[in-house]
A and B are shown apart, each in its own frame.
Chain A
Amino acid sequence: MRPKKELTFLDSKKNQLRVRTYFYVSLVVLLIVDFFLHKHVHFSWENAPCFYAVYGFVACVSLIFVAKLLRLLVKRRENYYD
């Protein structure tokens, strides 16, 4: 049985674009704020500008690359164990 109400706000291209714009703006803000911070660090490289941003991005891209390689290694058909 279908419920009566449906949310559709992400169906329109305009709203999708809006969400993405907010996202990109917040990224830029985070980068700018980074230069005005008082940093108290454990390791010297944390002082590098936008260290966390770069590390987060690189980590996730390499994660996907390695995961794709892993899939080549471990992927089997769905009834492999049956």
Chain B
Amino acid sequence: MISTLPPAVIFIAGAVFVPIFRGRGKLLYLLALPVIAGMDLVYLPTGQSSATTFLDYSLIFCRVDRLSLAFGYVFVLIAFIGTIYSLHVKDNLQHMAALCYAGGALGVTFSGDLFSLYLFWEIMALASVVLLLARRTEDSRKAAFRYFMWHFFGGLCLLAGIILFVITRGTTEFNYIGLTDSASLMIFIGFCLNAAVFPFHAWLPDAYPRATVTGAVFMSALTTKSAVYILARTFPGNDILLWAGAFMTCFPIFYAVIVNDMRRVLAYSLINQVGFMVCGIGIGSQLAINGVVAHAFCHIIYKALLFMSTGAVLHMTGKIRGTDLGGLYKTMPFTAVCCMVGAASISAFPLFSGFVSKSLTVAAVAESHHVIVWFMLLFASAGVFHHAGIKVPFFVFFGHDSGIRSKEPPINMRIAMGMAAFICIFLGVYPAPLYQILPYPVDFHPYTAFHVVGMLQLLMFGALAFTMLILSGFYPAEQRAVNLDTDWFIRLPGRAFVRFCHKPLQAIAEVATGWAKSTVAAFKSAPSRSVEIEKRMDWIFHTLLVGLPERVSQVVQPLKTEKSELSWNVTYILIPFILLLLAILFVFK
């Protein structure tokens, strides 16, 4: 049945055939896939349809309703824009990974049961690891490993939760889950890790700035937002999410002010923006969920635009640190304008897309009378303009003249940025099409005089603070440094554990091996006075005992080699995981 072809399958199956195309054919093929998936989405019948079965449970690849469709549209749209942006890339692996990644996100969006959800969840994780590795630097290789460990942990939590869920409830189909037992808690942790909820957020600013220029565009759009979708479906109205989201909007902006790598600034502001969505999920009213979907839609486009314009700078100049850049508007005016459109959108300037979407969430918070959360969101709104809205364009394209005079990026990059910038402005000016695809009917008018003036005051006086602090020299200067985050609590103990395995455990293994070998040698050179005894003991010594140390040494010896480092690291993620699992089971039983 062609009418229920899951869009995820188009991307993932399509990715397999990328290497057989050459030249222009490949460009057309890459562009055709998102277009076909988009047409498929339009004709997808609403409701559920089961694709196949697994262990007596049906796998549902197409659960189509207004919530999943809205996310489906934007994922296909950003896959199209991201593909245009990466058309100049010659590396087939990157194209295939990006397509699989988009397919994974769409699969998560339309999966109606937990098994297929888990399948696409892991496809997404693996594909995004490839986008990190594809940069082919030592730095990105290590970051990919850490990223993999984080998501491996999250995936294990999710898997454990799913298994418990299936055992306790006897079904794999899911809709609203709610935080009630250990199964839902494990699933919750798995989802929250992908949504970069504190304290599981540190993978994001660690990995995204180290991805390829084009890979970061896909990464900024897919992983966190598919998690937002799944949280909105399974845990709406959860108080933990309300407060976690409010906290997520605030703490990253402090980091964003002090970090130097511009793509890391954007990574922190990504957490801040996802915080608005998580907060909206925490409220869970119809207005709030509308706000979440609208904000996710706009956010994917403008965040991708920001990653594209900073990525274009990295592509053309090879530099991305604030300390190395400045004054680029002189020769890259188009990129500068696109970056500023993205910056205005993320800051929720009137007439830009962020304004029409963020207002919904903030209004939902105000309606539910969460005063503290409301103040936190307002603080975050001012703060996001401060770092993503002003800092990124200012330090890259204006500020002090770095002397760099690079050309505009290739034409495909400019087209992709132009498209994203157009969507940002179009939705900001005319939000009706966006409001039409939201899950619930919308009765909201963002453009009231009071709201426009209030928002402008908030932003412009934030800008005044920036101007005064820059002119007075009090603004924290860009510095090359590492800024610690919650991953410190993982990376240092993790390293200590690996060192423990390498040094003390290895020393014990070596002593044992040496002792075993000398014992064997002593027995073999002994005088043959007790031949009879030896004959009797022969079987014990030569077959059993003599063989044993050599067996042990055979097992222990390879641990010294570089290759086995992975097994230790897997162990070190598994041990805390098992402890956590036991703790949760203990608490809830």
Contact = CB atoms under 8 A, between A and B. Distances in A.
Given A2-B405, A52-B461, A61-B465, 17 more contacts: A6-B405, A23-B460, A23-B467, A30-B453, A37-B449, A43-B374, A53-B457, A55-B378, A57-B464, A59-B383, A60-B465, A61-B469, A63-B257, A67-B476, A74-B258, A75-B258, A76-B481
A55 B375 CA distance: 9
5 shortest interchain CB distances as A-B pairs: A60-B465, A42-B366, A56-B458, A67-B257, A53-B457
Interface string A27-40: 10011011001111
A46 B454 contact: yes
B485 interface: yes
A43 to B, nearest CB: 7
Nearest to B327: A10
Contacts of B485: 74
Contacts of A7: 329-331, 333
A8 B330 contact: yes
Interface of A: 1-3, 5-8, 10, 20, 23, 26-27, 30-31, 33-34, 37-43, 46, 50-57, 59-61, 63-64, 66-68, 70-71, 73-81
B462 interface: yes
B476 A59 contact: no
Given A6-B405, A37-B450, A67-B258, A56 B482 contact: no
B463 interface: yes
12 contacts: A6-B330, A27-B461, A34-B457, A40-B448, A42-B374, A56-B465, A59-B383, A63-B379, A63-B386, A64-B475, A67-B255, A80-B482
Contacts of B152: none
B215 to A, nearest CB: 22
A64 B476 contact: yes
Interface in B344-392: 363, 366-367, 369, 371, 374, 378-379, 382-383, 386
B482 A78 contact: yes
Contact of A59 (B369, B379, B453, B475): B379
A6 B363 CA distance: 45
Contacts of B449: 37-38
B407 A3 contact: yes
B462 A59 contact: yes
Contact of B474 (A26, A46, A64, A70): A64
A79 B317 CA distance: 23
Interface string B331-343: 1010000000000
Given A57-B461, A57-B465, A60-B383, A38 B483 contact: no
B100 to A, nearest CB: 30
Nearest to A39: B450
Contacts of B459: 56
A1 B166 CA distance: 62
B81 interface: no
Nearest to B476: A68
A73 B367 CA distance: 37
Contacts of B408: 3
B347 to A, nearest CB: 11
A64 B257 contact: yes
Interface residues of B, number: 55
Nearest to A71: B258
Given A38-B450, A70-B258, A27 B464 contact: yes
B481 A50 contact: no
B253 interface: yes
Contact of B462 (A43, A57, A74, A77): A57
Contacts of B413: none
Contacts of A77: 481-482
Contact of B480 (A2, A30, A33, A78): A78
Nearest to B336: A7
Among B255, B453, B479, B483, max chain A CB count under 10 A is at: B453
Nearest to B367: A42
A1 B69 CA distance: 46
A17 B374 CA distance: 37
Interface string B387-414: 0000000000010000001111000000
Nearest to B386: A60
B491 interface: yes
B484 interface: yes
Contacts of B440: none
A75 to B, nearest CB: 5
Given A8-B330, A43-B374, A59 B382 contact: yes
A51 B491 CA distance: 44
Contacts of B474: 64
Contacts of B254: 63, 66-67, 70
A63 B469 CA distance: 11
A56 B213 CA distance: 34
B466 interface: yes
A75 B478 CA distance: 12
A51 B448 CA distance: 17
A71 B476 contact: yes
Interface string B551-578: 0000000000000000000000000000
Given A37-B453, A74-B483, A80-B482, A56 B258 contact: no
A27 to B, nearest CB: 6
Nearest to B469: A64
Among A6, A52, A70, max chain B CB count under 10 A is at: A52
B537 interface: no
Contacts of B257: 63-64, 67
A47 to B, nearest CB: 10
Contacts of A20: 467
A76 B481 CA distance: 6
A31 B458 CA distance: 11
A50 B461 CA distance: 10
B505 interface: no
B398 to A, nearest CB: 7
Contact of A33 (B369, B383, B453, B461): B453
Contacts of A56: 382, 457-462, 465
Contacts of B366: 42-43
B455 interface: yes
